[in-house]
Chains A and B, each alone.
Chain A
């Protein structure tokens, strides 16, 4: 093996700058996915058949097709259909946010279902309306149950974000490929990118554990 990381030292800052791009991308996508996923989950458990049907259809489509296909569709079809010149970052956030919303909605739906139905009854008996009941009583309890699954989803999102490199977002992955192409050596830059992703995921895991501990105060 003739690994030579030495010659890549000047390129490391360039690759590291990708962390900010990746983090920005992942956090915006996660927020979009979480917000939309929560709404979809409420649709699914709600009484209005039409809304739960819409949410189920949505989940079915976004879970049933490859993410990279959704990404390319948003990137290439948006200008063609609407005339809006969508940036790679926007297309990425849109497809990742919408895609993870489908998964997150299922996670949250299951979490809400797992909350004891007595909680609904207690809230109803106190005259608490639906909205505050969901926001202050049911969802906080559901969140505690689903936190591990949710962290899992965010970790997946962080790793899979590497796919946006194909439409030219300058994230960690893309930067390492550019460096590799420049020097005609692939192994070291990819390894560097791999280490960065791994560290990011470890940090995320740690954050998840801390949040979990905080949320279990009431135990």
Chain B
């Protein structure tokens, strides 16, 4: 379980998150939506400490992520992350991208890591690209490799930061399909997204953020058909 308590985050004088309370249960798929600048990505990035919180507490399982004495590097191994701009290692082949961290960080034997990597490439439908460099892949393929790379560490949680926002429209679905399958397989996922149809279909719960506050939190069908707050209504009017 990831538990967020009274989370505040400031960039200089600008308060991006002001007092977020929420928790993510094991096996849950949670979509974070809201207008740009609402703090969605910042909230997600706090969950693996890519952003340091200004105040508040985040628990991952029984470990306090925000405690300076916690070994963040070790904790991050159990939290996979997928970025908007993929951030594959451009000087490594697809296979090398997948096996580097398992070998280097988890001490896996090379043949074991490769075996796992091929399974994951199969899962995201890219076995034939194992020896290509990222530059030779399309955006959708890159993002699927990035998902496989995160999964290669066998994380308990997966964080997705606008995974389809940098993609050409025709490539969005191939990535969303991989994510849907992942959610069905029981992976705990937190997804910042602008894909409302996807959030409605794949998420168990919606967190609606606006102005750094968690404004509404409910299951997708009630959120999309019957939003409780004016701000959520106004937002949905614009995007649907």
Contacts and interface: CB of A to CB of B under 8 A. Distances in A.
A120 B238 CA distance: 36
Contact of B101 (A121, A126, A141): A126
B150 A126 contact: yes
A128 B92 CA distance: 15
Interface string B151-192: 001000000000000000000000000000000000000000
Interface string B107-147: 00000000000000000000000000111000000000000
5 contacts: A118-B83, A118-B85, A126-B150, A127-B74, A127-B153
Given A116-B87, A122-B89, A127-B73, 12 more contacts: A118-B85, A121-B87, A124-B50, A124-B73, A126-B76, A126-B153, A128-B105, A129-B73, A129-B105, A136-B104, A141-B90, A141-B91
Contact of B104 (A118, A128, A219): A128
Interface of A: 116, 118-119, 121-122, 124-129, 132, 136-137, 140-141, 144, 217-219
Nearest to B102: A126
Given A119-B89, A125-B81, A126-B150, A218 B133 contact: yes
Contacts of B74: 127
* 4 interchain residue pairs of minimum CB distance: A122-B87, A125-B81, A118-B87, A127-B77
Interface residues of B, number: 28
B34 interface: no
Nearest to B152: A126
A126 B88 CA distance: 12
Interface in B27-63: 48, 50
Contacts of A126: 76-77, 101, 105, 149-150, 153
A133 to B, nearest CB: 9
A100 to B, nearest CB: 26
B192 to A, nearest CB: 14
| Residue of B48, B87, B105, B149 ringed by the most chain A CB atoms within 10 A | B87
A111 to B, nearest CB: 13
B100 interface: yes
B80 A125 contact: yes
B105 A125 contact: no
Nearest to B80: A125
A136 B90 CA distance: 12
A124 B149 CA distance: 13
A125 B133 contact: no
Contacts of A124: 50, 73, 76
Contact of A125 (B76, B88, B100, B134): B76
A126 to B, nearest CB: 4
A132 B104 contact: yes
A217 B101 CA distance: 22
Contacts of A125: 48, 50, 76, 79-81, 83, 150
B161 to A, nearest CB: 10
A140 B91 contact: yes
Contacts of B134: 218
A128 B74 CA distance: 9
A116 B87 CA distance: 9
Interface string B206-231: 00000000000000000000000000
A123 to B, nearest CB: 8
Contacts of B150: 125-126
A218 B91 contact: yes
A125 B79 CA distance: 8
A37 B90 CA distance: 25
Nearest to A219: B135
Contacts of A219: 133, 135
A137 B100 CA distance: 10
A120 to B, nearest CB: 9
Contacts of B75: 127
Nearest to B50: A121
Contact of A127 (B83, B101, B135): B101
